Amino acid sequence: MNGKQTRLRRILHPGSRRTVIVPLDHGYTMGPITGIAEIEKAALAAAQGGASAVILHKGSAGRCAANLPPQISLIVHLSGSTHCGVDPQRKILVCSVEEAVSLGADAVSVHVNIGGAHEADMLHDFAYISAEARRWGMPLLAMLYPESSLSGAVDRAQLIAHAARLGAELGADLVKIPYTGDPESFRQVTGGCGVPVVVAGGPKMGSSGAVLSMVAEAMDAGAAGTALGRNVFQHAQPERMVAAIAMLVHQNRSVEEALRRLETPLELTPKRGRVP
């Protein structure tokens, strides 16, 4: 077993090949928004709920390492932009694979917006990081989002399927992609990708039931898991939300059972620092 396979086994459950990832990288883009103002607390809540991994930028990753238990994986995000910029859709590289290795990462991630004016630049960066990740034996998660402006010209489900396949073609080991809206079309995404697909959450939804129903549909359509950020860390009980999602992902439980899990306090284990 090589280094990449060893790291992937920390993120994808060896038996089911499924995962519950909690992105906490939003501070770079949006600032200290609700739920991640205290980033160490947010990361610990994800870990206590049973998340497989958290996604952090390099500064937060360094600060949170002492609070993360050994069983949770660290994914260091390598690209970003801010909502304050002239072109928020243009992502640039802000960290290297080598830096992520020094932080004890189990994987790295990059964000690419498909169909915009700077698609070529972002794909170039994606290809570069893919090569570096392979050289370091580091798994790569690709976050791929078709530009919303394209939806009028092409079926959005087809766009999402194309974006997912693009990620696999450029060497991603995992692909994070938006939900298409129904299991039938999302099954085309997962079936045509070639590598495990995790469903993104996007903006905070109106209810916990809506979030869990989306997760259940995505899993039924062949998803390998979830990568939900705001719908987890902005929940009133984020650790319980992670636990409810984990029931759907790892145990194939019903949405009704997952909703009941939200009403039950967790038995929290004492924190033990994760050694980079």
Active site residues: 25, 145, 176
- Is 200 strand, coil or helix? strand
Please answer whether residues 204 and 171 qualify as being in contact, where contact means their C-beta atoms are separated by less than 8 angstroms: no
Element (H, E) at 6: helix 3-11
Measured CA to CA, the distance from residue 33 to residue 24 in angstroms comes to 11
How far is Cα 81 from Cα 90, in angstroms, rounded to an integer?
A: 6
Q: What residues pair up with 199 in beta bridges, in sequence order?
A: 177, 226
Q: Is 181 left (phi over 0), alpha (psi -120 to 50) or beta?
A: left
Amino acid at 47: A
Query: What is the distance between the alpha carbons of residues 58 and 173, in angstroms, rounded to a whole number?
Result: 21
Is the Cα dihedral 221, 223, 225, 228 positive or negative?
negative
What letter represents residue 42's amino acid? A
Count CB neighbours of 67 within 10 A. Answer: 16
C-alpha span between 97 and 75 (Å, rounded): 11
Q: 94: Cβ–Cβ under 8 A, 6 or more apart, which residues?
A: 28, 57, 58, 78, 79, 80
Residue 111 three-state SS: strand
